[in-house]
Structures are given as structure tokens and as C-alpha cells.
């Protein structure tokens, strides 16, 4: 107990770093998923080309290798990158590439009648996407997106490989210095379980609110 009291400030700091990394990488992942997912639905090949290459590279290579490449190799050709920025960028891009497929699939799975109705109303493609298709697609991807963001949370221990002192590294440092393996591993398990549960709870609330909005709004999805 005394050991835990001694290391509590460091563990809380590590937990806070994990939260920051998760939030920042999640925001980046959402932006990447939306932009690349929508672009890959374009009928024009030259709009689809670059996002498709980006998605395939990040989806087809391990996050571990991407992290090392960005942190150790890219600075050879330009300015150095801070560990937190490198970890945020790589994890956001990696999860965003998977999210891109969710967005693309959800847009493609919107009922054909919705597209036909937009055509009958003389909507432009922009109006069709913004007003009708994307809002319906976003409702459909909330459950799988929750899993992706929890997966992102569980990727954050990789950041310790490039000196980011997040929860896992801090707890393992405590283990090395105190020899208390059980306590250190329990702290890691508990910390990530609590954070994952919070993500799941937040997105359950979002799913409930958006589902109710879709049901109640005129012309909404039932």
C-alpha cells in the first residue's frame, strides 16, 4: 500500500497521458475515416486514388512498424517529431484507415430509395451526401466505431516504445523498482478496463440519442 501511495502521482500522470493520446488520436482517426471514406465513394477514380492508397498502406502494415518509421526514419529527411505527435499521428492514421472502410460501407449500404428520392428532389451530390446519406450512414457505424476506438485505446501502450510515459510504461517502471508484479499488472488491467468502459458508455448514449432522433425526425430512418 505504501508503494502505491508513493507511485500514485506517477501512475495518474501516466493515465492522463493515455487519455490525452486516446482522445487526440481518436479525433484524428474520425477525421481521416470520414474524409477518406467519403472520397472513396466518389465516381471519379482520381478522387478515389490517393485515399485508397493511404488506406491500403496503413491497413496493410503493422502499427508497430509505422510508429518506428515515423519516429526514427522520417526525421532523417526533415525536422524531428515529438514522441506524442508521432504516436498520435500513427495511431490516428492506423485506426482511421479501418474506419474509412466503415464509412464507405455504410454509405454504400444506404437504401437505394434514398438516392432515388434525392434525385427526384433535384438535390446536388453535395446536398444528397450532407443532408441525407451521411447522417444515415453515421448512425449505422456507431457500434463498430466504438470497437475501433477501444482498439485504439489498447494500442496506446505501443507509445512507450518511443518514450511516451503512458500508463503501461509507468506501471511497469513501478514493477521494476518495487518488484510488485501483481499490483503493477492489476493497475494496467484496471486502468484500461475503466477507460474502455467509459468509451463504450459514451457511444451507447450517442447511439441511443441518434437512434431516437432518426425515429422522431420527419423522413428519418425507422
Position 121 in a domain: yes
Closest by Cα among 70, 72, 69, 35 to 54: 35
Tell me the torsion sign for CA atoms 123, 127, 129, 132: negative
Distance CA 200, CA 153 (A): 12
Position 32 in a domain: yes
What is the pLDDT, as a whole number, of residue 177?
Answer: 87
* Domain extent for 158: 2-216
* CATH code for the domain in which residue 16 is found: 1.10.3720.10
What is the pLDDT, as a whole number, of residue 58?
Answer: 95
Q: Mind listing the pLDDT tens digit for each residue in 152-173?
A: 999 999 999 998 999 999 999 9
List the grid coordinates of 118. Answer: 434525392
Position 26 in a domain: yes
Q: Give DSSP secondary structure letters for the chain.
A: -HHHHHHHHHHHHHHHHHHHHHHHHHHHHHHHHHHHHHHTT-S-HHHHHHHHHHHHHHHHS-HHHHHHIIIIIGGGGSS---HHHHHHHHHHHHHHHHHHHHHHHHHHTS-HHHHHHHHHTT--HHHIIIIIIHHHHHHHHHHHHHHHHHHHHHHGGGGGGGT---HHHHHHHHHHHH--HHHHHHHHHHHHHHHHHHHHHHHHHHHHHHHHHHHHSTT---
Percentage of residues in the chain with pLDDT exceeding 90?
Answer: 60
Position 222 in a domain: no
Position 221 in a domain: no
How many structural domains are present in the chain?
A: 1
One digit per residue, pLDDT tens: the chain, 222 residues? 666 777 888 999 999 999 999 999 999 999 999 999 999 988 888 989 999 999 999 999 999 999 999 999 999 998 889 999 999 999 999 999 999 999 999 998 888 888 888 888 888 888 888 888 888 888 889 999 999 999 999 999 999 999 899 999 999 998 888 888 888 899 999 999 999 999 999 999 988 887 655 555 544 544
What is the pLDDT, as a whole number, of residue 40?
Answer: 93
Average pLDDT score, the chain: 89
Amino acid at each position: 500500500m505504501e508503494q502505491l501511495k508513493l507511485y500514485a502521482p506517477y501512475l495518474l500522470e501516466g493515465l492522463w497521458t493515455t487519455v490525452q493520446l486516446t482522445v487526440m488520436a481518436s479525433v484524428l482517426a474520425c477525421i481521416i475515416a470520414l474524409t477518406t471514406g467519403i472520397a472513396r465513394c466518389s465516381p471519379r477514380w482520381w478522387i478515389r486514388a490517393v485515399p485508397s492508397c493511404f488506406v491500403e498502406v496503413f491497413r496493410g502494415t503493422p502499427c508497430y512498424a509505422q510508429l518506428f518509421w515515423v519516429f526514427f526514419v522520417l526525421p532523417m529527411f526533415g525536422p524531428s517529431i515529438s514522441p506524442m505527435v508521432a504516436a498520435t499521428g500513427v495511431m490516428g492514421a492506423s485506426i482511421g484507415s479501418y474506419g474509412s472502410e466503415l464509412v464507405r460501407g455504410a454509405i454504400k449500404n444506404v437504401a437505394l430509395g434514398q438516392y432515388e428520392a434525392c434525385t427526384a428532389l433535384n438535390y446536388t451530390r453535395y446536398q444528397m451526401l450532407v443532408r441525407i446519406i451521411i447522417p444515415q450512414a453515421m448512425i449505422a457505424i456507431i457500434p463498430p466505431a466504438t470497437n475501433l476506438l477501444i482498439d485504439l485505446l489498447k494500442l496506446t501502450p505501443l507509445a512507450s516504445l518511443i518514450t511516451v510515459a503512458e500508463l503501461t510504461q509507468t506501471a511497469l517502471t513501478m514493477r521494476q523498482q518495487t518488484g510488485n508484479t501483481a499490483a503493477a499488472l492489476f493497475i494496467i488491467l484496471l486502468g484500461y478496463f475503466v477507460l474502455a468502459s467509459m468509451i463504450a458508455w459514451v457511444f451507447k448514449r450517442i447511439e441511443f440519442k441518434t437512434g431516437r432522433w432518426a425515429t422522431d425526425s420527419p423522413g428519418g430512418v425507422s
